Structure 1
Amino acid sequence: MGKNLFNSTRWIQIALINFSVVALAGITLRYKINFPLPFFNQKNVLHAHSHFAFTGWVTLVLIALLVNYLQQQKIKTNYNKYHWLLLANCIVAYGMLISFTVEGYAFYSILFSTLSIFISYFFIFYYWQDLSKVKDNSYAPTWFKAALILWAFSSLGAFSLAFLMANHINVQELYFGSIYFFLHFQYNGWFLFVCFGLFFSFLAQKKIALLDSINKKIFLMMAITVVPTYFLSILWLKLPFSLYVIAGFSGILQMFVLFYFIKLLILLKGNIIQNFTSKYLLILASTAFIIKIILQLLSAIPYLSNYAFSYRPIVIGYLHLSFLGIISFFILAYINEVLIAQGRRLSKTGVLIFTSGVILQEIVLMIQGLEAMEFKPLPYANLILFFLAIVIGIGISYIALTMDKLSTRL
């Protein structure tokens, strides 16, 4: 591979294949809830599923898209380093998938998890240097730099969790506090900030006027609230009253993010994106983002927060709302728009199957969540969720396997 060559499409396709593997692990989890599968430990597969989803799918594809952004900006650098970092990231992702499945939290799984963090540090170091060469008025470099900082910050939660597991420290508050720390700064930091940066860089390429002010306001409000909203995730710990106030106030501040985000959508008027698949995915991602902000605010209400953090379907539904509904839908829309510029596109059929499965899954999880409030249980809910996991897997696999026919290089 030449000094200034980087095949973004190949890495994006690898990430989509990995996403199919994530879906397969999800199907396995849902199968084991309904039917016997003695040679798989449910908790181990759950850890493998989540770690591989973060590293093998979202992180891999975001790195590829961030490097592609450098190429779009015509930045001169040695792109080989990113190729090798992605290769290393992919290897440790599969290492985590296998080791967590086989042994759970033990020597090899902790080793691969630690290696993935050090790979992220190398990427952050190199990408920050190359990002300083970018001259882009879209404010995207600021979004990306914030994302890199929050990515590094999230690793504190991963190190804390690994330490607790390795030393068999069974303090539930520390365990879940570490998990939510990692998840919060991944979902609401690294993932979300990159997506906003990519979105505004895309709008800048389309030469959309009057967006600079809203862009900066959304960034400012999200940057201010990203740390204190972590406390919304751990209200069940019975925090000091001062932290409870900070958490509630940050949830209210995020309503300003919602205000400016909706204002942005109104200004765009849906005319900037013509392709049905891209527009459909962005509408779904935007809707999921709006729902997420509202749910964050509602979680500050003690009565509702008790349900939100104590009932598993609600937790899973919320995490999937962010991971699939916001992040994954947006990433697929962005990939599709880049391909369209070259006369190619993602499979519309695959996207429709995938999104239908995700939407129906969220509805079923919501209904399951209502059971905690004494609503009538949904008959065969776990069996329905197993079927929908298969639908999701079919959809994303179809997208991944047909991409090679639709694209060769970004």
Structure 2
Amino acid sequence: MKIIEFNSKKWIRIALINFFIVALAGVILRYKINFPLPFLNQKFLLHGHSHFAFVGWVTLALMATMVNYLDKSRVMTSYKKYHWLLGANVLTAYGMLFTFIIQGYAFLSITFSTLSILVSYIFIYHYWKDLRRIKENNHISIWFKAALILWGISSLGTFGLAYLMSSHTKVQELYFASIYFFLHFQYNGWFIFSCFGLLFSYLMENTPSNLIKISRKLFLTLSITVGPTYLLSITGFKIPSFLFWTGAISGIIQLTALVYGYQLLKAIRIRPDLSLTKMTTLLWSLAYTSFILKVILQSLSIVPYFETFAFSLRPVVIGYLHLCFLGLISFFILGYFNALLSSKHIKLNKSGLLLFIFGVILQEVVLMIQALNAILNEHSPNTAIVLFISAIAMAVGLAMLINSGKHKTSIIKKAIA
């Protein structure tokens, strides 16, 4: 008997509640910048916020939607194991949230981080086995297989950081290299590849040949560049010139992904059978725009002038990370949720989504202003307050999404029956 399905009340609500908690932690972080809050350690809260965002929101959402793909593909397997794995993922996420807030990097927080990685390995093993049961649509399976591989590879950055801390290594560049390694293969690997896999699985119900060709070309471009473009993250360090040029050439090659992305966008627009809602179209358009900006900004780091600002200015770093996390990944996931629910005549709260979108865009604009002012050595008045307001807007918007799901419980149950 199947215990877990994607559109169940339980997993939709847990994912959205977790996302709201991520946003709430962001509100507290922004509040603490503007007003006194002495009983909370800013650095500890930041660690809890980021770890919970990765595991409790994005990873949980991706795991659940990928299991949903197995279900829709009529894969005969025990879905009970995925129920337990998703539950274990949530437990480790909350464990990291609270222990990082209380003690920062210490025994308990590192333990929960390690358990989270263990859960990911078990999921990778079982999902890979079940994915092999799908004989058709190989152009979709390769996205998910690559995502799983890159997810596993990203954990090496975590283990590298743990080793450096345990051995009391004092080479700061090695710490940053480990952190950037984890972030790169999460953002550009696990997150993006699984999102493209989900997108093509949604578009491929009638398997049009033009989309298959686009999928394969896009996959080839991203798969051959995802590893070498990590070198762009460490160009500020003293690395051999051949490694710099390897990263630089890969960054240039990666720009061709924008061409295939545009072809994909055109192909989607001429598909009347998709019947995407205006809100899903908006969310995915914003996600695609963020993808364009991400690829361009990543490629610009090749230029020494831009590379200096990319790694030395905090607003640039935060803006880029949030562009990827909120603008690209989260917008896509919310759009995917809305697309699946809309096919059953259910919609996420429109006002909540619009308020969340407003908060994200406002935040990115203000961070860009902060970055430009820092480059010009000018002061940025009141930007910290505006960022606090944007964080509140995102949190309130997500709270409205949770509330909308609560009132449609019975409808959702009928839709997934």
Same fold, judged at TM 0.5 (above): yes
Residue 4 of structure 2 corresponds to 6
Shift of 1:273: 4.2
The yes-or-no answer on 1:130 pairing with 2:130 is yes
Shift of 1:208: 4.0
Post-superposition Cα deviations, 1:308-354, rounded to whole Å, max 9, x if no partner, equal 10111100000000000000000011111111121211111111000
Shift of 1:288: 0.4
The yes-or-no answer on 1:351 pairing with 2:353 is yes
The yes-or-no answer on 1:143 pairing with 2:156 is no
Q: How far apart, CA to CA, are the structure 2 residues paired with 1:375 and 1:400?
A: 42
3-state SS of the aligned residue for 2:36? coil
Post-superposition Cα deviations, 1:118-167, rounded to whole Å, max 9, x if no partner, equal 00000000000000001332611110000000000000001111222344
Post-superposition Cα deviations, 1:380-401, rounded to whole Å, max 9, x if no partner, equal 1111101110111111121122
Contact preservation (8 Å) 2:232, 2:247:
yes
Q: How far apart, CA to CA, are the structure 1 residues paired with 2:408 and 2:325?
A: 25
Residue 363 of structure 1 corresponds to 365
Contact preservation (8 Å) 1:138, 1:200:
no
Moved more, 160-169 or 172-181: 160-169
Residue 287 of structure 2 corresponds to 285
Identity fraction in percent: 53
Contact preservation (8 Å) 2:5, 2:67:
no
Mapping of 1:144-293 within 5 angstroms?
144-205=144-205, 207-269=207-269, 272-293=274-295
Contact preservation (8 Å) 1:231, 1:243:
yes
Quick one: which amino acid aligns to residue 122 of structure 1?
I
C-alpha distance 51-249 of structure 1, shift in aligned 2 (>3 A): same
Quick one: which amino acid aligns to residue 348 of structure 1?
K
3-state SS of the aligned residue for 1:321? helix
Moved more, 65-74 or 231-240: 231-240
Shift of 1:28: 1.1
3-state SS of the aligned residue for 2:235? helix
The yes-or-no answer on 1:314 pairing with 2:291 is no
What TM-score do the two structures reach when normalised by structure 2? 0.95
Residue 393 of structure 2 corresponds to 391
Q: For structure 1, list consecutive stretches of 5 or more residues without a partner in the other structure.
A: none
2:341 paired residue among 334, 339, 342: 339
Q: How far apart, CA to CA, are the structure 1 residues paired with 2:185 and 2:67?
A: 21
3-state SS of the aligned residue for 1:237? coil
Moved more, 285-294 or 3-12: 3-12
Residue 325 of structure 2 corresponds to 323
Post-superposition Cα deviations, 1:215-261, rounded to whole Å, max 9, x if no partner, equal 10000010000000001111111211001101110010001111111
Contact preservation (8 Å) 1:138, 1:212:
no
Q: How far apart, CA to CA, are the structure 1 residues paired with 2:85 and 2:165?
A: 27
Mapping of 1:48-67 within 5 angstroms?
48-67=48-67
Q: For structure 2, list consecutive stretches of 5 or more residues without a partner in the other structure.
A: none
Q: How far apart, CA to CA, are the structure 1 residues paired with 2:119 and 2:175?
A: 24
Q: How far apart, CA to CA, are the structure 2 residues paired with 1:399 and 1:169?
A: 45
Query: How many residues were matched structurally?
Result: 408
3-state SS of the aligned residue for 1:139? helix
Moved more, 113-122 or 206-215: 206-215
Post-superposition Cα deviations, 1:197-227, rounded to whole Å, max 9, x if no partner, equal 0001111025544111111000001000000
Mapping of 1:52-91 within 5 angstroms?
52-91=52-91
Q: How far apart, CA to CA, are the structure 1 residues paired with 2:138 and 2:106?
A: 44
3-state SS of the aligned residue for 1:53? helix
Residue 118 of structure 1 corresponds to 118
Shift of 1:47: 0.5
3-state SS of the aligned residue for 2:169? coil
The yes-or-no answer on 1:406 pairing with 2:408 is yes
Structure 1 runs of 4+ aligned residues shifted over 6 Å read none
Contact preservation (8 Å) 1:105, 1:166:
no
Q: How far apart, CA to CA, are the structure 1 residues paired with 2:109 and 2:164?
A: 14
Q: How far apart, CA to CA, are the structure 2 residues paired with 1:404 and 1:170?
A: 50
Q: How far apart, CA to CA, are the structure 2 residues paired with 1:18 and 1:73?
A: 28
Shift of 1:267: 2.5
Shift of 1:168: 3.6
